[in-house]
């Protein structure tokens, strides 16, 4: 059991890193982009804005913790 | 254009990770002897080559749009992590990576650990070297695989990584000390910017977006990511300096 937990923890740390909201935000932004694109609405602008908003938010949370 | 980015990103990411792995291996080799440390390095290198050799062909079987979506998401998550840490370091919120300090700490740990010799091997030295190289290398393997498979050229990405491995390895052998003068944060910043740019571009393409102007717009995304990142560094640096000034008691008020 300890090995399974360790294995899962390793991959979580490796992929998600120390701010899970960034990973979750990327997945949500891609889902919204896909939904807009499939509805034939231009969505190329969404990912750049979403990515950098997620970065700014993550930085703000880290620096405001002190 | 993409080929240049591909080789550059693989090279820079690999060089940064190799410098970190080199620090660990040097500390282990100097204190515990080179044989077990080098066997650890060789085993980790073979393990990484197996990961690339097994996963590389498997990735080419996935439809390109699905691949771009998944790879784009992964690159974007990695890129934002690298960029976030690089921005925190550049603005003073996080200490710069100090290879000399890490080397001294690793030396001390390696000296204090007991020696268990089995089959003529120092397993502490082997494990530490193996872990250092394998864990630092795994992210590089991911970048090489994802960049290479999405661009249809894993060998080109692998060439960038191999060039970094050879250069850092040679310099490490010649200098025989941690490479503390390598501008690690600048390199991490550059890799973060590139991973984020490609993650945005491929992720959106995989999600069904058609970029106006086609592949050329990747330069526009790159410029946008760079501009915002530099803006965030400037803003956070000023904020950090203001916070430090407010925390420092005023001097010379009694004069």
Structure confidence by residue, pLDDT tens digits, B81-94: 989 999 999 998 88
Secondary structure class of B115 (helix, strand, coil): coil
Both tokens assigned to B8 = 């550059």
pLDDT at B255: 45
To test the contact with chain A by mutation, choose from B71, B77, B233 the residue with the greatest count of A C-beta atoms within 10 A, namely: B77
**Is residue B24 predicted with pLDDT exceeding 50?**
yes
A6 touches chain B (CB under 8 A): no
Chain B positions touching A17 (Cβ under 8 A) are 77, 81
- Average pLDDT in the B205-217 region? 89
- Out of B203, B229, B232, the one facing A47 most closely (by C-beta) is B203
Cβ atoms of B93 and A62 within 8 Å: the answer is yes
Q: Compute the count of residue pairs across chains A and B with CB atoms less than 8 Å apart.
A: 98
B233 touches chain A (CB under 8 A): no
Among A27-31, A51-55, B117-121, B241-245, which stretch is predicted with the lowest mean pLDDT? Answer: B117-121
A63 touches chain B (CB under 8 A): yes
Q: Would you tell me the crossing angle of helices B64-90 and B184-206 to the nearest 10 degrees?
A: 150
Can you tell me the ipTM of this complex? 0.92
- Average pLDDT in the B102-126 region? 75
- Alpha-carbon distance B205 to B221, whole Å? 13
Residue B68 neighbours by CB distance under 10 Å = 23
Give the minimum alpha-carbon distance from B255 to chain A in angstroms, rounded to a whole number: 33
pLDDT in tens, A13-54: 878 888 899 999 999 999 999 999 999 999 999 999 999 999
Cβ atoms of A63 and B239 within 8 Å: the answer is yes
B162 touches chain A (CB under 8 A): no
Both tokens assigned to B153 = 């050229």
């Amino acid at each position: 059991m300890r090995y399974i937990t360790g294995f899962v923890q390793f991959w979580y740390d490796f992929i998600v890193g120390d701010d899970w909201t960034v990973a979750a935000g990327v997945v949500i932004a891609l889902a919204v982009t896909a939904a807009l694109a499939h509805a034939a609405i231009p969505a190329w602008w969404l990912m750049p804005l979403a990515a950098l908003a997620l970065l700014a938010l993550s930085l703000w949370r880290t620096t405001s913790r002190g | 254009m993409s080929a240049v980015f591909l080789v550059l990103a693989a090279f820079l990411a690999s060089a940064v990770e190799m410098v970190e792995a080199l620090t660990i291996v040097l500390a282990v080799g100097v204190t515990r002897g080179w044989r077990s440390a080098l066997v650890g390095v060789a085993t980790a290198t073979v393990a990484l080559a197996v990961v690339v050799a097994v996963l590389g062909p498997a990735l080419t079987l996935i439809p390109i749009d699905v691949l771009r979506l998944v790879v784009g998401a992964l690159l974007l998550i990695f890129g934002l992590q690298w960029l976030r840490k690089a921005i925190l370091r550049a603005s003073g919120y996080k200490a710069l990576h100090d290879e000399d300090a890490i080397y001294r700490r690793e030396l001390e740990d390696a000296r204090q650990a007991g020696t268990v010799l089995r089959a003529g091997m120092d397993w502490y030295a082997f494990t530490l070297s193996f872990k250092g190289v394998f864990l630092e290398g795994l992210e590089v393997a991911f970048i090489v695989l994802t960049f290479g498979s999405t661009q249809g050229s894993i060998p080109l990405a692998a060439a960038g990584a191999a060039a970094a491995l050879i250069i850092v390895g040679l310099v490490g052998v010649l200098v025989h000390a941690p490479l503390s003068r390598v501008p690690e944060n600048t390199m991490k910043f550059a890799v973060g910017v590139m991973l984020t740019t490609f993650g945005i571009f491929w992720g959106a393409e995989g999600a069904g977006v058609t970029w106006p102007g086609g592949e050329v717009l990747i330069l526009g995304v790159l410029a946008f990511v760079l501009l915002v990142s530099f803006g965030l560094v400037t803003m956070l640096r000023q904020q950090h300096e203001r916070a430090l000034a407010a925390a420092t008691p005023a001097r010379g008020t009694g004069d």
